[in-house]
Structure 1
Amino acid sequence: MNIDALIALRRDLHAHPEAGYQERRTSDMVARFLQQLGLEVYRDIGKTGVVGVLRRGKGARVIGLRADMDALPMQDQSETPWKSRTANLSHACGHDGHTVMLLGAAQQLAESGDFNGTICFIFQPAEEGLAGAQAMIDDGLFSRFPCESVYALHNWPELPLGEVQTRPGAIMAAADRFDIVVKGGGGHAAQPHLTRDTLLAASELVVQLNTLVARAIDPCEAALLSVTRMQGGFSHNMIPAEATITGTVRTFSPAAQDTLEARLREMARHVTAAHGLQAEVSYLRYYPATVNSETEANLALSALGEAGFSVRTARQPALTSEDFAFMLQAKPGAYLWIGSAPSQPLHHSAYDFNDDLIPYGVRAWTALARRALQ
């Protein structure tokens, strides 16, 4: 296995990012790489997904290893020679590195052949908010490739290089999006007594929304509500007829999810009514919580510990979200963090995947696959 070649491939992917369900160039490169290794290659699963199948021995067991391929809709502000060449698209979450680490593992396992069973290398589109995992499942992923268990590996800048963490149970939060439109006002800024002030009502609602978790959810339970955008108005001398508030809610239990949605709708209705206005609320539950099965999480920790990695059981889950959750609803499995420090935080405009992580990632995948098919 040539690490320099994998680094060059990773940097090429970084320079040519593609949005969710548009990963044609990326999937072409992935398919070509797997075909050269002699794997069975299947394409266009979930629109642009790729699955490579590697069989060795007579074992009947089948596992899935998943990497995501899509980029984020943001400008790359790094200063590297391989920075994004596409405006407003950037691999700011490291999916370019995830793709290459799994390709490297496929190469290593194809060459060594020291396992007994079948490995499905799953290259997934559209993780960033577009539910590419669900799209692959809906397109027959697990009926065509009957994996007994599935695993995913994500770089984690908060951890030292190569350290691995996971935990049984919840590892990432459910992610919801809300949009609130405050309506019914509009008028001259110099005559506020003749209209209803949408911006004032929206501002009060933002403040009240930030009290919701603290007053609606058990303090011992993790949850989060963040207002991330507020828009309204086009002129300095006009009170706008509408103002919009957008944000996200993160939870780990369906009960907390239900409570926060209901209370958010109630709060929006009452706060705006107090200003003589109306609220239209759109609430989208787009990713469930990512919940590891106990057996697979412990297997991963044990396998990587025996392979020489520094491993820890994660003390608590993260409030970030992952559509690998859909795969874990369909199959037992585990989602792992692997340390990638030093690097910028995930989703930072100047983030670039730490290429020093590539050999660690390849080794982690191969150790995990061998143990799962032991």
Structure 2
Amino acid sequence: MTKHPDFDLPALVALRRDLHAHPELGFEEHRTAALVAERLRALGLEVTTGIAGTGVVGTLRGTGRAIGLRADMDALAMPESSGKPWASTVPGQMHACGHDGHTSMLLGAAEVLAAAPPGITVHFIFQPAEEGRGGAKAMVEAGLFQQFPCDMVFGLHNMPGLACDEMAVVPGPQLASSDSWTLTLRGEGTHGAKPHLGRDPIPAAGMFLAALQTVTGRIVDPLQPAVVSACSLRAGDPKALNVIPDVVEIGGTARAYTPLVRDQLEEGIGRLAHGIAAAQGLEAEYTFIRRIPPVVNEASATQVALAAARRALPKVRTEFPPSTAGDDFAFFAGEAPGCYVWLGNGPAQDGALHHNTGYDFNDAALPSGVAFWVALAREAAS
């Protein structure tokens, strides 16, 4: 590799691989945050650390409009099987979603913009704990947007299957809400040979699971995407196969793109749970936990991002299907007009999609990501 005309690409690749080799889970990104802060200070940016624990913001001051550019820093609690020389050195932890690449690209953009400022204020936001631990919400609650007001905020995520010089910038829903639900069916345990002497929660659990998809199939408008999945089931003891248990515990996830459908899922699962419990003479304890709102791109921010993508890359898609995955960037977009874009990560070789043990961020995407962030700052200033 040769030195990129605007930033040191080999150094950025080395940084990305170093981050990949040293993954840290949400709110534990101490090494990563220190490295990020050190590099931002070396560029002459104002640096604030310790936001929601391990969050970092680097600010390049200008006049007029202020924008926020977000990169997530955390890894996942899973082993790595990629076999790369820079594979994770931490057992049971790996960068399986490309946050090492996201962090590196934003640092590369900071390098370019610090050398040739766009004129506006740019807040480089390095977020902890995107992977389900609530980092964005924690940063917002810690006063992120009071301390660093933004007229617009932007997020970027790599997407295997798109070319490394290709982006997708689409208005409207990009990612679904990500909510959790739990149900405890409580009966009365008894001998397995004398079920009439108790109140068996297991048949009720079967009825509930069999009917669960009627929530999406018969309550939600068929033209509105929605997902309800049961992902956990606990009952009885395999070492006591003649005992009907007192309790069955079920849990899962619910996904939607609109507040209405989100409400319908919460109400529909609960109504089904309580109805079946009542019919079987059981008690039902139901909770629906709203974790992450949907990511919905705002029109004006999307126009800025689209113009920047077309300036920076040769291939830009304006149609791309939304994902039923979630991203807590939604909390940032709830504070300022936001846009979330997709950057190609090349072919998904050997099944190495996001959250796969064989996944590795594609270093060939680094220049594209840097170019987009730089173009975005300049487009927002125009």
TM-score range, shorter chain: over 0.9
Aligned 1:207-246 pairs, distance under 5 A:
207-236=210-239, 237=241, 238-246=243-251
Q: 2:101 matched to 1:93?
A: no
1:20-72: per-residue Cα shift (whole Å, max 9, x none)?
1111111001001111111111101122100001135xx32211110011112
Q: Which residue number corresponds to residue 186 of structure 1?
A: 189
Shift of 1:200: 2.7
The one-letter amino acid paired with 1:45 is: I
Between the aligned partners of 2:246 and 2:32, the Cα distance in structure 1 is 45
1:257-283: per-residue Cα shift (whole Å, max 9, x none)?
111211111101122333332221111
Q: Which residue number corresponds to residue 306 of structure 2?
A: 301
1:123-168: per-residue Cα shift (whole Å, max 9, x none)?
0111112221121122221121122111110001132323211222
For residue 71 of structure 1, the aligned residue among 63, 71, 75 is: 75
Between the aligned partners of 1:44 and 1:168, the Cα distance in structure 2 is 33
Q: Which residue number corresponds to residue 290 of structure 1?
A: 295
Shift of 1:83: 2.3
Q: Which residue number corresponds to residue 25 of structure 1?
A: 31
1:283-320: per-residue Cα shift (whole Å, max 9, x none)?
10111111211011022112211223311113442221
Structure 1 residue ranges (4+ consecutive) displaced by more than 6 angstroms after TM superposition: none
Q: Which residue number corresponds to residue 286 of structure 2?
A: 281
Q: Which residue number corresponds to residue 360 of structure 1?
A: 368
Q: TM-score, normalised by structure 2?
A: 0.92
The aligned length equals 371
Between the aligned partners of 1:245 and 1:166, the Cα distance in structure 2 is 38
The 8 Å contact of residues 165 and 313 in structure 2, kept in 1 or not, is answered as: no
Q: 2:339 matched to 1:331?
A: no
Give 3-state SS (helix, strand or coil) of 1:301's partner.
Answer: helix
Give 3-state SS (helix, strand or coil) of 1:330's partner.
Answer: coil
For residue 8 of structure 2, the aligned residue among 2, 23, 29 is: 2
For residue 270 of structure 1, the aligned residue among 275, 278, 291 is: 275
In the alignment, structure 2 segments of 5+ residues that lack a partner are 1-6
For residue 327 of structure 2, the aligned residue among 322, 327, 339 is: 322
In the alignment, structure 1 segments of 5+ residues that lack a partner are none
Q: 1:324 and 1:102, CA in 2 relative to 1: closer, same or farther beyond 3 A?
A: same
Between the aligned partners of 2:76 and 2:126, the Cα distance in structure 1 is 17
Q: Which residue number corresponds to residue 128 of structure 1?
A: 131
For residue 310 of structure 1, the aligned residue among 309, 315, 333 is: 315
For residue 140 of structure 2, the aligned residue among 111, 119, 137 is: 137
The 8 Å contact of residues 301 and 312 in structure 1, kept in 2 or not, is answered as: no
User: Structure 1 residues 8-17 or 364-373, which shifts more?
Assistant: 8-17
Q: 2:108 matched to 1:108?
A: no
For residue 47 of structure 1, the aligned residue among 50, 53, 64 is: 53
Give 3-state SS (helix, strand or coil) of 2:155's partner.
Answer: strand
Between the aligned partners of 1:149 and 1:231, the Cα distance in structure 2 is 45
Between the aligned partners of 2:314 and 2:197, the Cα distance in structure 1 is 68
User: Structure 1 residues 326-335 or 231-240, which shifts more?
Assistant: 231-240
Q: Which residue number corresponds to residue 257 of structure 2?
A: 252
1:324-345: per-residue Cα shift (whole Å, max 9, x none)?
1111111012110111122321
The 8 Å contact of residues 167 and 298 in structure 1, kept in 2 or not, is answered as: no
The 8 Å contact of residues 68 and 122 in structure 2, kept in 1 or not, is answered as: yes
Give 3-state SS (helix, strand or coil) of 2:61's partner.
Answer: strand
Q: Which residue number corresponds to residue 166 of structure 1?
A: 169
Between the aligned partners of 1:329 and 1:298, the Cα distance in structure 2 is 18
Between the aligned partners of 1:138 and 1:196, the Cα distance in structure 2 is 45
User: Structure 1 residues 188-197 or 357-366, which shifts more?
Assistant: 188-197
Between the aligned partners of 1:78 and 1:308, the Cα distance in structure 2 is 29
Q: TM-score, normalised by structure 1?
A: 0.94
Between the aligned partners of 2:188 and 2:19, the Cα distance in structure 1 is 48
Between the aligned partners of 1:186 and 1:314, the Cα distance in structure 2 is 54
Give 3-state SS (helix, strand or coil) of 1:224's partner.
Answer: strand
Give 3-state SS (helix, strand or coil) of 1:352's partner.
Answer: coil
The one-letter amino acid paired with 1:103 is: L
User: Structure 1 residues 276-285 or 234-243, which shifts more?
Assistant: 234-243
Q: Which residue number corresponds to residue 62 of structure 1?
A: 66
Shift of 1:194: 3.3
The one-letter amino acid paired with 1:68 is: D
